[in-house]
Amino acid sequence: MTSRLAGTVKERAFSLLEMLIALCVVGLLLGVALPGYERQLQRVKRSTAIAALEHLRARQEQFFVHHRRYAETFAELGLGEGAHCIDAQGQQIAADAQQRCYCVVLEEVTSMAYVFRATAQLRQRRDRQCVELVIDQQGRRSASPGATGDCW
């Protein structure tokens, strides 16, 4: 933008100091907003893992109704061989995939009991209060190292 004052042309622009101040303000805003955003993403992924655990529990109960025992493997539940890892959308993915958020294992299986344990993977491990989510055949929930109420 130009203006004419007494026959001279004066250029108007931002000074270096104004640019530095603007960059500092943007940096401060990002510094405040990004950790909150990351915590929210962790909560969303944790909710996805909880939904996956509830889904697995329902499949296990359905298996029990038909076979009078609990499934000992994911394959018996119709979920394929090997580890059961999920991404942020709750879709089953390979155990070495970079998009995995949680991997679920089936433990302590007897004819009358089982435990599903979901363990946070990769960036989701930054959710330090809820690294592991656990549910058993009675629907009892636990989490470690944090309090169950904070995670579930």
The per-residue pLDDT for range 83-117, each reduced to its tens digit, is 799 999 989 999 999 999 999 999 999 999 999 99
Cβ(130)–Cβ(146) under 8 Å?
A: yes
Residue 6, pLDDT > 90, answer no
DSSP readout, 85-124?
A: EE-TTS-EE-TT-TT--EEEEEES--SS--EEEEEE-GGG
Flag the least confident range among 35-39, 111-115, 126-130, 146-150.
146-150
Cβ(49)–Cβ(101) under 8 Å?
A: yes
Model pTM above 0.85: no
Residue 3, pLDDT > 70, answer no
User: Residue 91: what pLDDT?
Assistant: 92
Angle subtended at Cα 76 by Cα 58 and Cα 131, rounded to the nearest 5 degrees: 60
Please, which residues bridge with residue 38 across strands?
A: none
Residue 1, pLDDT > 80, answer no
User: Residue 5: what pLDDT?
Assistant: 58
Flag the least confident range among 19-23, 47-51, 148-152.
148-152
Cα 28 vs. chain centroid, distance in angstroms?
26
Flag the least confident range among 8-22, 40-54, 79-93.
8-22
Average pLDDT, the chain: 89
Give me the residue spans of the domains in the chain. Answer: 16-151
